[in-house]
Structure 1
Amino acid sequence: MKKHSNSFRILLLILLLGCGISITSQNFIHPGILHKEDDLARMRQKIAEKAEPWFTAWNNLRNSPEAQLSWSPRARETVIRGGTGDNISIMYRDVAAAYAHALIYNLTGSTLHGDKAAQILNAWSSINKSVSGNADRYLAAGLNGYQFANAAELMRDYPAFKLEQFKNYLLNVFYFPMNERFLIGNDWGAPHNDACATNYRVNWDACNMNAMMAISIFCDYKEGFDRALNYAKTGDGTGNINRAVNFIHSPIWGQWEESGRDQGHTMGGMMLYAIFCEIAWNQGVDFYGYGDSRFRKGAEYVARYNIMENGIGKYNDLPYTSYSRQMGSNCSWHTEPTLSSAVRGKYGAMWEMIYNHYARRTNQGDKVTSIYEILQQQPSINVPSMAAHPDTYDHPAVATLTFRTDSGSQILPWRNMDVMPQSIVALPNYGNTTLVDSTLTLTASGSGIRGTSDHFQFAFQRIIDNGSITTKLISPENSNENCQAGILFRENGQQNSPFVMLSLSQAKGLEFIYRDTVGKPIKEIYTDISVNTFPLWLKITRSENTFTAFTSINGIDWVEKATISVSLKRDLLAGLAASSNDLSTTITAVFEKARIDQGNIKPILTVNSPGHLDIGYIAPANVVISGSAFDMDGTIDRTEIYVNDSLAAKIKTSPFSYSYTNAEIGDYAIKIKTFDNSGAESQSQEMTISVGEKTNKLPYYKFDETSKLAYTADASGNNLNALLVGGTSVGTGKIDNGIVLDGINGYVRLPNSFLHLLSEFTISTWVKLDELKTWARIFDFGFGTNNYMMLTVNNGTGITFELKSNSLSQRVVTVRKPVINTWNFYTVTLADNTLSIYLNGSLIGVNTNFTLRPYNLGSTFANYIGKSQWTSDPLLKGTVDEFRFFNYALSPTEINDLMLGQSALQSISDSQIKIYPNPTRQKLFFRNASESIASIFDSTGRIIQSFKITDNTYSRNLDVQPGNYIIKLKDSKGSEYQEKLIVL
């Protein structure tokens, strides 16, 4: 692989990480939406010191109504913004409350506030199913989507917080149906609410861009992050930065998209765009500086025009170019010819964040003088409830507390923090790090890196997989003999994190120490009390889980001191550490020429399927093994797929997919390995799937109860009883009784514990409709509007089946509509990537490239007969009977047998009949099938051969064309046995 300079490799790494490339089980830095670990540490210190203006902002947060422990969540199934029933305030105030309690928990360690934040977030993810209303619903989804994700990001490791449930909530209520659909379009509909791309102003686009990016980070969804970033660069709407800042008037000023509308919307949209830049920055993407700092020019323009003096605008020297855009569904033109003074002086909640980036973080204070001036008028110390207008809930509170740093404190590309307890404790001293040329100076207090937890000043960068850290440690100033200084690899900034460290002190000399488990005592690998003089060059290298310590007197000739094998995460913080080992004093440790050398990063392997290892594969099974491979610092050479330790496939492309076909009964161990062009390897965990026999021991609902109960019994004997909900009653069925659904609130809810086991399947039922309602469901199994499989009696065209898993949807749409007040027999089968719909035994629709399976849905908890995942869809009105499942596809003949009420298929799990080999090259052997009649059916259900088996060790040459068949045996008592037959 081509070698790069260290600076280039670090830059490349930062850019790639910012694009959300997966490095472990995650894609992103966590926490990493609006606040990172070192940000939280800085806030704790400022509060403990009662430093202003941070402390005033903190008190405003603590005293806000939403931050009180008496706050109760008010989650609703449907939230409406705009139009009849508008109740959006219950959501945005709960979002503000969740954020306030999450932030207070992270700053104080108070589990009372942690529990409250978790309670609010869990309530919404359990109850809320949709964001509705007029076009303003997209504003609601954008504004609350990104802020919900930001609050949840701070709680992702909290025990009481339902992390996976909240991920599903954000994706299925916000991201796919609202945020992504609004900006770029997807299966939920066309973009921009079916209007012209520039119909909606930048504040609409920016809040949905924020939601896409924030939710993607929280859910480790790389594709979503990339889509949001790409839209900001090349999108067709006003969120494209070249439209948001539509005219560049000077190296300092850029005209904002809504400046000709009014200053209220201008301010709001620009603040939202600033949040987008900050979120991207926290993942390593500099969108603040994108396009020659185009956003900075727009922000400076907005700031200057909104600076007030004695109640009127102070500056009137801004140029303005007449701005035209297309509106509505017909894309008619609308022009704003002049700079609007309406709502001039509007408050902006995020000026502190914007100024902090340009003036303090990147030393461009001379280019944001108007932003500085307006910040003096509009300090970011308020909470939303302190203002009269509800738009103050569009942004997080108290930006001064959360974003303000000390002037000159930035040491990019390094970051620094005091590793210390997660609580606000007033300490005698705090640490700091400064960078001048190539010299890093750490001012440090703390109790040291000893025992089960640590307290020290830490300057660090991120490193992945292999690499090294090297520095020249100069003698600490103001030191005591117990002070520590050195270099280390560490998993995170928490006080009890695992680490490996090489340190030097006068009292202990040279030490190589580590902690391999969270909260455990440190262990010594190597000590040499005789090495206690400064300066000294130090180096640690990492190769997989092997860490090696070196010293040198000149930085050229290195002496290996010790090696240890410690299982740390792939993604580590590598850096410099110093501690006085005495809270009452500080030391100053100077490190010269500190360098992080990033080694070759192992390729990233993501496995998509098999996703659930308890899937009900049926012999002969088709097991799809798929995923993707990516290399952050090179290219992928190949991906290898192993089945039972044998190489089954070698694939050069990504994404990859391989079908392991004709798997017979048994267990199969699957492992995937991927290699980059330097030979580095990543591999999946071993996945074991089981292939079994056909069985119809799945739920079977006869609905033969004679009086209404709370449930209907599962006739299969598996005790998978179903709940009867709302307006249901007993009525006359096709066979004995059936369940009557009133079309108002009546439906059947099936259990959660079986659908994800299915691969190939058959679902059949009798239904007599009282009304033919568009989108009424015969069944809908899944969770939310992004993961489901459903059969509707009419999608506007005809009977339709759809299986949707996240962003991928596959369907069969027919032109047949059922007749009402008549019993109809519906059957859906899936086998060999062919999805078929039958009505009354006749094939009415087919898709021969149907690759999704029920197991792609994962564990489903909303499995309905007569009800949709979509709350806006009507409920089915009619009678349902004989609803049953099979874990294989019935043949056309068997479907007709089932429809005619014959014993279609007995359970064969206990049968002693054997037919082999299968697949066969023509000759078949039969065991324990004497006196049975054998029939072979082709794919259309036509019998092509029939013969009698005369003894229990019978054989026969078939003499049929190669292909797939069904062979059925029927004995003298009428019992039947069948299986799929493959002739080669």
Structure 2
Amino acid sequence: MQAPAPALLHTQADFLRMHDKVATALQPWLGGWNQFLGARRSDLGATPRPLPVVIRGVDGQNYGAMIVDMMRAYHLAVRWKITGDRAYANDAVKFLNAWAVTLKELGGNSNLFLASGLYGNQWANAAEIMRSYDGWAKEDIARFQDMLLKVFYSRCHDFLTNHNGTETRKVTHYWANWDLANLCGMYAIGVACERPDIAAEAVRYYKTGRGNGAISNSVYYLHPGYLGQWQESHRDQGHSTLGIALAGMLCEMAWNQGEDLYGLWNNRLLAGAEYVAKTNLSDANGTPYVMPFAPYNGVWGVGTAAAGSGSRRPCWELILNHYVGRKGLSAPWTQAMVDQVRPERSDGGDSVGLGTLFFLRDPAPAARPSGLSAHLSDGKVQLSWWGCADATQYLVQRASSPDGPFTSVARVSDPRTCSDAPGQGVWHYRISAVTPLGERIGVDVVRVAVPGELWLHLPLNGSANDASGRGLHGQLVNGASWGTGGRDGTTCLQLDGRTGHVRLPDGAVSTLGDFTLAVWVYWETSAINARIFDFGSNDVAYLALTPRDGATPNQMRVLASRNQFWTEQPLSAPVLPTGRWVHVAVTLAGTVGTIYVDGAPAGSHDGIWMAPNQFGQTTQTWLGRSQYGGDPFFKGRMQDLRIYSGALTPAAIAQLAR
């Protein structure tokens, strides 16, 4: 049987590229090769020093010794694949076999879960390269795979399942890099051990997990121009750049297995990388850039600004050479960082580094502008898009019809964003890139109505079908039913307060910035923490309205979270009355939120950050039910749910409440 070709961080094609570039002394690959050799981890003749127990985080920790041998095995394997010299393969096998026979356990405090992920990942990558070597005996391969599964995978799985005992309390207790380290370890071990179920476990978590390593939580907030605030940005830049390194490795390994994690949520990892890169750069005068920042309220306190700057962790070539090298997009801040650190050095054990040698490729043709989004923000149209690698500027073009004719209304360089005030009407936008070869029209045309329009309308009068024409029909679930007792004696939605609720389609409001939600409600029982609506995907990410807040029981409150803690949303109103029909509405215009009761403003605040579009494709978009399983269901009735793009005026809200 033919030995498997490596397919984690490096493929056979990657090694051939490295060989050809170095053999012909092409820069900057040759500089990358010299960085690789300068690390001295691929020198022949070193002796393995395996340990039965590797300890991290307490007195007597010894994990540094394993890092040295782990890097030797990895670098020796790479050097064999580039040069073809079997002496390096034989030395790599020597290190792999020594540790497979000896290592039995990871120990220490919670830091052992960093060891499981960071080092399980790189050991597995070394093994994946060497599985194609005919000089590594099958029984030795099996022994090493067994060690990976018992010592490293078991800990990766335990951490992502239990989070060191915090899973059922606050899964977001741990920073993004803890999750991402263990996701990398789990994925690499799954491939190296021929366990696709383990690799799939990592992918599921990255796509939909509750912890900070999931893509939606690690890139916490999208600022205009797709600057994606990283979850650890208010902590420090050493850990923020580690998160970028780990997420990049996970996506690269999955890419080489045929799965595109890079592209999730409209290239959300690139948004995070651009934000972190710019945070660590300075302008022409040497002044660090001032970054936009959405307040972050987490287990370690409230973050107020992007902390620190100047980190030069070698993680950028991998990101650049996917999004620009493979996809032809632009990544100006990542590119600026690469320009400062090329050729990338080796990392110190947390990630592989050496990206100039490992990941730099001849660039793909430049793409068309893509990923265009448009939503209302403070009454204006806020546009963001992904640019193309050869663009010098972008033309923002607008038309009254999707077929045009389009007129250029703005000329933009980076950042790739524009705020437009086109006047009342329905408008269509596209982006055209200005390049040395002429204009290149973007992929997308998007539609926006100004000052807004009815987005979803559920009459809830015997029908949960969407009367707006968008097809966003609701579904009655469990104890939800139709009954009498509606306004003016009509049929209405009945919610039993036990299990009944209404489910809206996934992502029903995921493109909205400014919005209005209005509904008639009849609340029978004043239960703390019930929900009128709760739009989210889990108890970590949601936008909700509770008629009686548990923290302030005399208040109705808007709740918003991206990290299992209520992001500070001081938008409240007096507690909702019971025993009668009440019209309730919530509006957001820019950062100004307002609650209306019976057509009159009842509470307002400027400082509301979390618009619906920050939550992406929500999968639990509910009326009458909370994301938290212990919260009570809404007991009462509802009618005439209306959701609008844009914030309705007070006069329009008053008209709905009649």
AA at the equivalent of 2:192 = F
Distance 2:59 2:135 in 1: 36
Structure 1 counterpart of 2:344? 381
Aligned equivalent of 1:202, options 176, 189, 193: 176
AA at the equivalent of 2:294 = T
AA at the equivalent of 1:179 = C
Structure 2 contact 70–119 (Cα < 8 Å) conserved: yes
Distance 2:216 2:122 in 1: 25
1:360 and 2:325 are equivalent in the alignment: yes
Structure 2 counterpart of 1:63? 38
Distance 2:110 2:358 in 1: 32
1:112 and 2:87 are equivalent in the alignment: yes
Task: Report 1:114-263 matches (<5 A).
Answer: 114-161=89-136, 162-176=140-154, 178-185=155-162, 196-263=170-237
Q: Could you list the per-position Cα deviations for residues 159-192 of structure 1 after superposition, in whole angstroms to 9, with x for gaps in the alignment?
A: 343211111010000001x10110024xxx9665
Structure 2 counterpart of 1:396? 352
Q: Cα offset for 1:381?
A: 2.7
1:322 and 2:295 are equivalent in the alignment: yes
Structure 2 counterpart of 1:79? 54
Secondary structure at the aligned position of 1:85 is classed as coil
Distance 2:265 2:165 in 1: 25
Distance 1:210 1:192 in 2: 21
Provide closer, same or farther for how the CA distance between residues 284 and 313 of structure 1 changes in structure 2, counting only shifts above 3 A: farther
Provide closer, same or farther for how the CA distance between residues 233 and 98 of structure 1 changes in structure 2, counting only shifts above 3 A: same
1:340 and 2:324 are equivalent in the alignment: no
Task: Report 1:585-734 matches (<5 A).
Answer: none
Structure 1 contact 313–345 (Cα < 8 Å) conserved: no
Provide closer, same or farther for how the CA distance between residues 376 and 190 of structure 1 changes in structure 2, counting only shifts above 3 A: closer
1:294 and 2:268 are equivalent in the alignment: yes
Distance 2:313 2:132 in 1: 32
Structure 1 contact 349–380 (Cα < 8 Å) conserved: no
Q: Cα offset for 1:251?
A: 3.8
Q: Cα offset for 1:64?
A: 2.5
Distance 1:397 1:97 in 2: 14
Structure 2 counterpart of 1:941? none
Task: Report 1:532-611 matches (<5 A).
Answer: none
Q: Could you list the per-position Cα deviations for residues 197-231 of structure 1 after superposition, in whole angstroms to 9, with x for gaps in the alignment?
A: 11110111101000000000111111111110111
Provide closer, same or farther for how the CA distance between residues 409 and 163 of structure 1 changes in structure 2, counting only shifts above 3 A: farther
Distance 1:214 1:77 in 2: 22
Structure 1 contact 61–397 (Cα < 8 Å) conserved: no
Of all paired residues, the percent bearing the same amino acid is 34
Distance 2:180 2:285 in 1: 30
Task: Report 1:259-278 matches (<5 A).
Answer: 259-278=233-252
Distance 1:362 1:55 in 2: 24
Distance 1:111 1:221 in 2: 28
Q: Cα offset for 1:92?
A: 0.9
Provide closer, same or farther for how the CA distance between residues 311 and 211 of structure 1 changes in structure 2, counting only shifts above 3 A: farther
Secondary structure at the aligned position of 2:239 is classed as helix
Q: Could you list the per-position Cα deviations for residues 803-844 of structure 1 after superposition, in whole angstroms to 9, with x for gaps in the alignment?
A: xxxxxxxxxxxxxxxxxxxxxxxxxxxxxxxxxxxxxxxxxx
Structure 1 contact 210–272 (Cα < 8 Å) conserved: yes
Distance 1:309 1:70 in 2: 47
Q: Cα offset for 1:310?
A: 8.0
Q: Could you list the per-position Cα deviations for residues 716-772 of structure 1 after superposition, in whole angstroms to 9, with x for gaps in the alignment?
A: xxxxxxxxxxxxxxxxxxxxxxxxxxxxxxxxxxxxxxxxxxxxxxxxxxxxxxxxx
Provide closer, same or farther for how the CA distance between residues 313 and 33 of structure 1 changes in structure 2, counting only shifts above 3 A: farther
Distance 2:164 2:275 in 1: 34
Distance 1:374 1:132 in 2: 37
AA at the equivalent of 1:320 = F
Provide closer, same or farther for how the CA distance between residues 269 and 195 of structure 1 changes in structure 2, counting only shifts above 3 A: farther
| TM-score, L = length of structure 1 | 0.36
AA at the equivalent of 1:373 = A
Q: Could you list the per-position Cα deviations for residues 256-276 of structure 1 after superposition, in whole angstroms to 9, with x for gaps in the alignment?
A: 000011111111112111111
Structure 2 contact 156–183 (Cα < 8 Å) conserved: yes
Secondary structure at the aligned position of 2:262 is classed as coil
Q: Cα offset for 1:311?
A: 9.3
Distance 1:79 1:195 in 2: 29
1:406 and 2:362 are equivalent in the alignment: yes
Secondary structure at the aligned position of 2:107 is classed as strand
AA at the equivalent of 1:349 = P
Count of equivalent residues = 364
Q: Cα offset for 1:337?
A: 2.3
Structure richer in strand, relative to its length: 1
Structure 1 contact 182–192 (Cα < 8 Å) conserved: no
Q: Cα offset for 1:303?
A: 0.6
Unaligned residue ranges in structure 1 (runs of 5+):
1-23, 328-333, 385-391, 412-984
Structure 1 contact 184–192 (Cα < 8 Å) conserved: no
AA at the equivalent of 2:212 = T
Secondary structure at the aligned position of 2:171 is classed as coil
Q: Which is greater in Rg? A: 1
Structure 1 contact 184–191 (Cα < 8 Å) conserved: no
Secondary structure at the aligned position of 1:183 is classed as helix
Structure 2 counterpart of 1:45? 20
Structure richer in helix, relative to its length: 2
AA at the equivalent of 1:370 = W
Secondary structure at the aligned position of 1:66 is classed as coil
Q: Cα offset for 1:325?
A: 2.2
Structure 1 contact 183–191 (Cα < 8 Å) conserved: no
Provide closer, same or farther for how the CA distance between residues 364 and 89 of structure 1 changes in structure 2, counting only shifts above 3 A: same
Unaligned residue ranges in structure 2 (runs of 5+):
368-658
Secondary structure at the aligned position of 1:197 is classed as helix
Q: Could you list the per-position Cα deviations for residues 869-927 of structure 1 after superposition, in whole angstroms to 9, with x for gaps in the alignment?
A: xxxxxxxxxxxxxxxxxxxxxxxxxxxxxxxxxxxxxxxxxxxxxxxxxxxxxxxxxxx
Structure 2 contact 281–288 (Cα < 8 Å) conserved: yes
Distance 2:226 2:243 in 1: 19
Secondary structure at the aligned position of 1:248 is classed as strand
Q: Cα offset for 1:380?
A: 4.3
Distance 1:180 1:311 in 2: 47
Secondary structure at the aligned position of 2:170 is classed as coil
Structure 2 counterpart of 1:582? none
Provide closer, same or farther for how the CA distance between residues 101 and 246 of structure 1 changes in structure 2, counting only shifts above 3 A: same
AA at the equivalent of 2:8 = I
Structure 1 contact 305–313 (Cα < 8 Å) conserved: no
AA at the equivalent of 1:362 = K
Distance 1:380 1:244 in 2: 27
Distance 1:159 1:196 in 2: 48
